[in-house]
């Protein structure tokens, strides 16, 4: 895979804090990076990068994941967005989330799990992915953390098990 070969230039971000990388499973030359400075796309396996921050309320994406049609789902501090590579359009998919943090799809990509880091206590929501991935619907809370629990990033394995990074104690 192109990403496995190196060396690679640094990401063109104002900080060195890259929070997540996502490789399109259907096109390993397409790599997304979520960093404090925004969301970036490489179409050449990480050798060059272009910002995808136009339209974000605050271009400080927390996580990015590849979707079945090559679309990018990314979050900033207020919403979850979908970037469509064909139309080059960015749309808000879930705008009612306070500090969306982890994003992860179910193995069949019919569900999207999101950590709501701004809720107190923190929760993990799940949405149905509908209309070929262009909309989210039927939001429900699947996990409510204890008052001192801090779910953070998450992933879903091939069997559909939800794995969550979890901290305990005072946030701050």
pLDDT tens by residue, the chain, 172 residues: 444 455 555 655 545 677 777 787 778 888 877 776 677 788 888 778 887 755 555 555 555 666 666 778 888 778 888 878 788 777 888 888 888 888 888 988 899 999 998 889 999 999 999 988 888 999 999 999 998 888 888 889 999 999 998 887 665 5
**pLDDT value for 112:** 93
CA distance 78 to 142: 20
CA distance 78 to 8: 31
**pLDDT value for 159:** 95
Angle at 14 between CA 124 and CA 51, to 5 degrees: 70
Could you tell me if 112 and 136 are in contact, meaning their C-beta atoms sit under 8 angstroms apart? yes
CA distance 164 to 136: 21
17 secondary structure, DSSP code: -
Quick one: 142 exposed, middle or buried, by C-beta within 10 A (0-12, 13-18, 19+)?
Answer: exposed
CA distance 51 to 151: 28
Its pTM stands at 0.78
The dihedral sign for the CA sequence 19, 91, 126, 30: negative
CA distance 170 to 107: 33
**pLDDT value for 129:** 92
């Amino acid at each position: 895979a192109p990403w496995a070969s190196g060396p690679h230039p640094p990401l063109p971000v104002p900080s060195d804090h890259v929070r997540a990388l996502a490789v399109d499973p259907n096109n390993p030359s397409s790599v997304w990076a979520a960093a404090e400075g925004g969301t970036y796309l490489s179409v050449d396996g990480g050798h060059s990068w272009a910002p995808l921050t136009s339209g974000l309320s605050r271009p400080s994406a927390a996580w990015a994941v590849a979707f079945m049609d090559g679309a990018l789902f990314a979050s900033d501090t207020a919403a979850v967005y979908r970037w469509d590579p064909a139309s080059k359009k960015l749309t808000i998919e879930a705008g009612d989330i306070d500090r969306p943090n982890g994003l992860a799809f179910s193995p069949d990509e019919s569900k999207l799990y999101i950590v709501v880091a701004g809720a107190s206590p923190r929760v993990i929501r799940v949405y149905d992915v509908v209309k070929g991935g262009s909309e989210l619907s039927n939001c429900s809370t699947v996990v409510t953390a204890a008052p001192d629990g801090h779910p953070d990033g998450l992933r879903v394995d091939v069997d559909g098990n939800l794995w969550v990074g979890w901290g305990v104690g005072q946030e701050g």
